Every structure is written in structure tokens, then in C-alpha cells.
Amino acid sequence: MKTIAILGATGSIGTSTLDLVEAAPERFEVTAVTASSNVAELAAIARRTSASLAVIADESRLEELRAALAGTDIKVAAGEGALAQAAASADLVIAAIVGTAGLAPVMAAIRAGRTVGLANKEALVSAGALMIEEARRSGAVLLPIDSEHNAIFQCLAGQDCDQVARLILTASGGPFRTLSAAEMARATPAQAVAHPNWSMGAKISVDSATMMNKGLELIEAHHLFDLPEERIDIVVHPQSVIHSLVEYADGSMLAQLGSPDMRVPIGHILAWPERMATKARRLDLMDIGRLDFEAPDPERFPALRLAREALRRGEAAPLTLNASNEVAVEAFLGGAIHFGDIAAVVEEQLNRMDQPLPTSIDDVLALDAEVRRATREALKVIAN
């Protein structure tokens, strides 16, 4: 029996995780589930899974959660300390909170020496060096859920990257792959979140449309696999059948294939080092017929260039990239700025900020808050 804590249980990754965990009650026991503010859904999940602990991040909702779980023996709690407690409560912690909000809980899991199934790429982008260092100290194991990194992890088959020539991250190209720059500039939030292949949360869907998602994944890959920026390539592959590739020194290339369904990489991490059955649709190669590849367009997708620059600069540049992007995406989803403004806002913050990466998580979060404040100020000018 493996114990599982699910951080961000109400989200897209959280829901896919629950689908797998609930179908295999003989393998998994849920210790804790968490959500941002949706009490009704969190309480329903806690009841269904018989979790020991339900945590709501929004402290003002604690009494509401207590009432929703009255009559059960499920413990309830709220706020940051409780999220950290949930994160340290299981053998395997599924880190599926979106954004830097997930960083402190992920660090709590790492400090406790847990195995972490990491979906929350923003934590790694902001403070990857600290997370990796802490994992070395505590013996925590970081396992990638993000489909590209999970694909690479599978292709590496337990080997380190000594004999790896390069990693190739595949990108679907997002919903705007074939739009002109002028069409993209006018794109609405509804168009940006309508991903052709994957069904995901709103933030990552917009990141896919700008291709900032692939930029964040470049930085994520650098930390997870300890390879420099110039040995990680990005190729657009519109069918999302190959989830990424590893090229070895001898010229061999290994790829992992699967239908675009997050239950495949999540199931791989849940069962690791074993395997488990999932209900994901099987690939029918005859049906697929062909696989296409093309180079990403740096003109229409400036986020890729910004992410490469941030990774080359290192220190707090990736944190700045991520924090300003989170604020810009929220503003775009709220209708305050245009699609084309997102990358421009991020670039402005990258040009303005030049700081070392702090050595403690508290200082990282303070810097993150400072970048957010500055980005909001910059947004006021655009929105006016």
C-alpha cells in the first residue's frame, strides 16, 4: 500500500490523479487532499477517498470546510502551515498546485525526504537550484509528471545524462500554431484556452498558446536532468503523440509515445517503479498515419527566446520570467491586456531585474512578490 497526498486535488492534474487512485484502492491510500478555495469539491473528494486530512489554502473558508465534513473523522485545516503538513504526510506527494503558490508545500515535501510527483513546474522554474540542493540533502526523489519530462525520464531508464547528447522537447504548438502575428495579437482568452490536443487548467492553456509553457519546460528540464540550455532543443510536433526524445552519444534517439492524456504520465509516477493499468485511449498507429515536425517560430513566439535568455542568465532571471508571466496571464484572462502584451510585459521585467537567486525559500517568495508588484504597476500603464 502506497500513501498519497494530492496537493491541488480539485485541478486538472488533481482530477486525473484521483481517477487513477480511486480505480486502484488496493494499491493506494490517500492521506491528504488540498485545494485553493473550492470547499464543496474538496469536501466531496475527501469523503470519496476517505482522506485523513483536508486542507483549504484560503483560511477564511476553514469553518465552511469543517461544516462540510462534520460527522466524518477527516481532519480539517487551512493556510500555509497546513499545506506543508499535508505535503509531508505521504510516501508520494503529487504536487499539482498551479504557480509559485506551490513552492512552499513542495519544499516541505522535499525537506521531509518524500517522493514528489512534480506537475507544478513553476516551483522548479523559480527555485530549481534550491529544490535540487534540498533534495540531495534530504534524500527526497523528484519524479516528473509533466508529460515531456516524464517521457525523457522513461527514455533514460534510470541512467544519468552522461551519455546524452541532447534532449528534444516536443511542443504541440498550441492553439495559435498556424495563426499570423496579427491574428494572434487579437486573440481572446476563450481562443487561447481552447487547446487542440490537451484539456488543462486555464493558466497552462494560455502558456501553451504563447509557448511560454515550453519555455518553462526548458528550464524545468535543465533542473531535472542537469543539462545546459544549449543541449535542450524544442521541436513542434502538432499531433502530440511523441512526448519528447533523448538523443544519445552514439546517435540513437529514444522517444516515448502515448495518447495525449495526462493519466499516462501520472499513472507512470503513481506506480513507479512498477506499472499500472490506465483507461487512457491506446494509440492506433494506422489511424495516426503520420507524424509531423517543424521548427518553432521565434518571431510569433517570443516567449521561447525569453525563457532561453533567462536560463542562460540564471540566478533570479527564471523567477522573474515566471512571476511576471503569472501576473500577465492572469491579466489577459481577466481581459485587462491583449494576448501580444504577455511576452512584452515579461521581457520588460527581465530587462529591469537583475538579482541573484536568494538562498532561502522565504527570500525567494519575497522576491517573487516584488516582481509581481512591479509587473502589476507596469500593467496599469498598458491597461490605461
Binding site for Mg ion (CB under 5 A): 146-148
The yes or no reply on residue 209 touching ligand NAD (CB under 6 A) is: no
What lies within 8 Å, CB to CB, of 161 at 6+ separation is: 225, 226, 227
Cβ distance to ligand NAD smaller for residue 304 or 348: 304
Residues 245-284 that bind ligand NAD (CB under 6 A): 262
The span of 64-72, 94-102, 124-132, 241-249 binding ligand NAD (CB under 6 A) equals 94-102
Nearer to ligand NAD, 348 or 375 (CB): 375
**Contact residue for ligand NAD among 39, 51, 164, 200 (CB under 6 A):** 200
Burial of 167 (0-12, 13-18, 19+ CB in 10 A): buried
Q: Measured from the CB of residue 56, what is the shortest distance to ligand NAD in angstroms?
A: 9
96 scored as a contact of ligand NAD (CB under 6 A): yes
Binding of ligand NAD by 201 (CB under 6 A)? yes
Of residues 263 and 348, the one with the C-beta less far from ligand NAD = 263
Task: Tell me the C-alpha distance between 268 and 289, whole Å.
Answer: 26
Phi/psi at 113 (5° precision): 75, 25
Q: Which amino acid is at 287?
A: D
Would you call the peptide bond into 318 cis, given omega within 30 degrees of 0 as the criterion?
no
Q: Is 126 within 8 Å of 323 (Cβ atoms)? A: yes
Q: Is the dihedral of CA 194, 195, 196, 198 positive or negative?
A: negative
Cα separations (Å) of 28 from 3, 24, 50, 76, 139? 6, 7, 11, 21, 22
Toward Mg ion, which CB reaches closer, 146 or 368?
146
Instruction: Report what 51 binds from ligand NAD, Mg ion, none; CB cut-off 5-8 Å by kind.
Output: none
- CB nearer to Mg ion: give 39 or 264: 264
Q: List the one residue from 120, 126, 172, 349 that touches ligand NAD (CB under 6 A).
A: 120
Determine contact, residues 292/308, Cβ cutoff 8 Å. Answer: no
With CB under 6 A as the contact rule, the residue among 4, 5, 12, 232 that binds ligand NAD is 12
Residue 58 is classified by DSSP as -
User: How many alpha carbons fall within 13 Å on the CB side of residue 86?
Assistant: 36
Binding-site partner at residue 36 among ligand NAD, Mg ion, none, CB < 5 to 8 Å by type = ligand NAD
- Type of residue at 5: A
Nearest approach in angstroms of CB 204 to ligand NAD is: 4
| Residue whose CB is less far from ligand NAD, 17 or 320 | 17
193 binds ligand NAD (CB under 6 A): no
Question: From CA 41, how far away is CA 29, in angstroms rounded?
Answer: 19
As a whole number of angstroms, the distance between CA 37 and CA 29 comes to 24
Kindly tell me which residue out of 21, 30, 35, 310 binds ligand NAD, with binding defined by CB under 6 A: 35
Residues in contact with ligand NAD by the rule CB under 6 A: 8-14, 35-36, 57, 96-98, 101, 119-122, 146, 198, 200-201, 204, 262
